[in-house]
Structure 1
Amino acid sequence: MLMTPECVAPTGCALGEGPVWSPSEGFLWWVDIKRAKLHRYNPRTGNTRRYDLPIRASALALHDGCLLMAGDQEIGLYDPATEGYERWCTLSGEPETNRTNDGGVAPDGSFWFGTMDDKEREATGSYFRLGADRQVSPVRLPSVMVTNTMQFSPDGRTFYTCDSAEQEILAFDHDSETGTLTGRRVFATTYEFGGFPDGSTIDSEGCLWTCLWDASRVVRFLPDGTVDQVVTLAAPRPTSCTFGGPDMRTLFITTARAGLSFPVLDSRPLSGSLFAVTVDVPGLPPREFGKG
């Protein structure tokens, strides 16, 4: 089934990413990595607001009324009410050309995130876990070019991730007690769509919704990896998605303008906007950092 979302915030982000729904506020938060901006969308009024950030944040998570941020080579906490930022920790041993990319909260409340070569030339990206004690530990997975998709199944037993450059989405068995990953396997490929898997989200039926960079699509994969639904966008580079709204049936989709030629931007002027579409199966309430 094909679905076409509408543009709800024509923000023109260079690289919109990291959408997070805040149920207590009724806001959708996301970032523009390249411009070091934070965006907020209020679906009740249609209004948006933009904040300047001290880092190029790439991934967000809710925490005590604030936003946990991964950006550049550090993790910190941002309070939109005061526009204050507190650095929690920095990454050690990462190449100078690396920066953080996607991230997500695990069932135990820890924050999993990845790094990547900002120039997308070398496979130097790694995976990390931030615990409730604010300590960062490595997740033992092979180095990748572009780390994306940090999602866990509703029961917490499966972890999904991808190296966007490989056009494959991977699945691992996840031990919720130890955080150990085993049973690496290819969950789905995106060759047939001509796109590259980017950010994802999980719905209440355990299906994975994945944005396909350069394919103008978001695809819903069933737990067995088969394609169930396809969302077609008026922007070629969807980057990430999440569920929100009072009933969690609104799929919000961030997009990018970065790297598009002027002719493409002329034909796809909504590139970099925030899109939304109503779906039948609701998403899951967002997990908060530190709350297992």
Structure 2
Amino acid sequence: MIITPECVAPTGCMLGEGPLWSPSEGFLWWVDVKRAKLHRYNPRTGNTRRYDLPIKATAMALYGGNLLMVGDREIGIYDPSTEGYERLTALEDEPEGNRTNDGGVAPDGSFWFGTMDDQEREAQGQYYRYSADGKLSQLRLPSVMVTNTFQFSPNGKTFYTCDSAEQEVLAYDYEADGNNLTGRRVLADTFSFNGYPDGSAIDSEGCLWTCLWDSSRVVRFTPDGDVDQVIVLAAPRPTSVAFGGDDLRTLFITTARVGMSFPELDSRPLSGSLFSVRVSVPGLPGREFGKSD
């Protein structure tokens, strides 16, 4: 089944990323990585607001009314009410050309995120875990070019991630007590769509909605790796998705315009916008940093 979303915020982000639904506020938050901006969308009114950030944030999590952020090569807390930012820790051992990328909250309440070579030349991206007690540790996973997708199955036993450059969606068995990842396997590849897997979100049936960069599509992978639904956008570079709304049946989609030529932008002027679409299966309630399932 093919679904067509609508543009709800024509913000023209260079690299829209990290959509995050706040149920207490009824807002959708996301960032424009390249411009170091934070965006907020209110679906009740259709209004948007933009904030300046001191870092080029790439992923976020709710944290006690504030936003936990990773960006550049650090982790910090941003308070939208005061527009104040506090750095918590830096990634000391990352190569100079690396930056953070995607991230998400694990069942134990820790924040998992990845890094990448900002020039996308070397496979030197790493995976990290940041716990509520302030401990930062590196996950023992192979280095990749572009780390994307940090999602867990509804029962918390499977971790999904993407090696974007290899066009593979990966799955691991997850043991919460030891934070061990085993049983690496390829859930699906995206060669047939001519796209690169980017950010994802899990629905209540355990299916993974994954953005396909350069393919104008978001696809729904079943736990067996089959595709049963496809969203086609008016923008070629979808980056990430998040479920929102009172019933978690609204799927929000961020997009990018970075790297597109002027003729491409003329033909796809909504690139960099925020899109939304209603889906039949609701998503899962978002996890908050520091709170376990």
Question: TM-score range with shorter-chain normalisation?
Answer: over 0.9
- Tell me the residue number matched to 1:158: 158
Whole-angstrom CA distance in 1 between matches of 2:110 and 2:224 = 26
- Tell me the residue number matched to 2:31: 31
- Tell me the residue number matched to 2:76: 76
Q: How far apart are 1:48 and its partner, in Å?
A: 0.1
SS in 2 for 1:258: coil
In the TM superposition, what are the counterparts of 1:2-151 in structure 2 within 5 Å? 2-151=2-151
Q: How far apart are 1:142 and its partner, in Å?
A: 0.7
Whole-angstrom CA distance in 2 between matches of 1:189 and 1:145 = 16
Q: How far apart are 1:189 and its partner, in Å?
A: 0.3
- Tell me the residue number matched to 2:272: 272
Amino acid paired to 1:138: Q
- Tell me the residue number matched to 1:196: 196
- Tell me the residue number matched to 1:237: 237
In the TM superposition, what are the counterparts of 1:218-257 in structure 2 within 5 Å? 218-257=218-257
Whole-angstrom CA distance in 1 between matches of 2:94 and 2:79 = 27
Deviations 1:261-286 (A, max 9, x none): 11110000000000000000000110
- Tell me the residue number matched to 2:210: 210
Q: How far apart are 1:178 and its partner, in Å?
A: 1.0
Whole-angstrom CA distance in 1 between matches of 2:89 and 2:261 = 37
Amino acid paired to 1:116: M
Whole-angstrom CA distance in 2 between matches of 1:127 and 1:74 = 13
Whole-angstrom CA distance in 2 between matches of 1:90 and 1:106 = 20
Q: How far apart are 1:135 and its partner, in Å?
A: 1.2
Q: How far apart are 1:247 and its partner, in Å?
A: 0.5
Gaps of 5+ in 2: none
Deviations 1:211-268 (A, max 9, x none): 0000000000001100010000000000000000010000000000000011110000
Whole-angstrom CA distance in 2 between matches of 1:182 and 1:59 = 25
- Tell me the residue number matched to 1:176: 176
Gaps of 5+ in 1: none
Deviations 1:37-88 (A, max 9, x none): 0000000000000000000000010000000000000000000000000100
Whole-angstrom CA distance in 2 between matches of 1:135 and 1:81 = 27
Whole-angstrom CA distance in 1 between matches of 2:20 and 2:188 = 24
Whole-angstrom CA distance in 1 between matches of 2:154 and 2:66 = 24
Whole-angstrom CA distance in 2 between matches of 1:134 and 1:74 = 13
Amino acid paired to 1:222: T
SS in 2 for 1:247: coil
Amino acid paired to 2:88: W
Q: How far apart are 1:177 and its partner, in Å?
A: 1.3
Whole-angstrom CA distance in 2 between matches of 1:142 and 1:20 = 27
Amino acid paired to 1:137: S
Q: How far apart are 1:163 and its partner, in Å?
A: 1.2
Whole-angstrom CA distance in 1 between matches of 2:35 and 2:49 = 15
Q: How far apart are 1:176 and its partner, in Å?
A: 1.3
SS in 2 for 1:60: strand
SS in 2 for 1:266: helix
Deviations 1:131-163 (A, max 9, x none): 011111000001110000000001110000011
SS in 2 for 1:54: coil
Whole-angstrom CA distance in 2 between matches of 1:163 and 1:130 = 21
Give the length in aligned residue pairs. Answer: 292
SS in 2 for 1:81: coil
SS in 1 for 2:115: strand
Whole-angstrom CA distance in 2 between matches of 1:121 and 1:50 = 31
Whole-angstrom CA distance in 1 between matches of 2:168 and 2:140 = 19
Q: How far apart are 1:94 and its partner, in Å?
A: 0.5
Amino acid paired to 2:194: G
SS in 1 for 2:132: coil
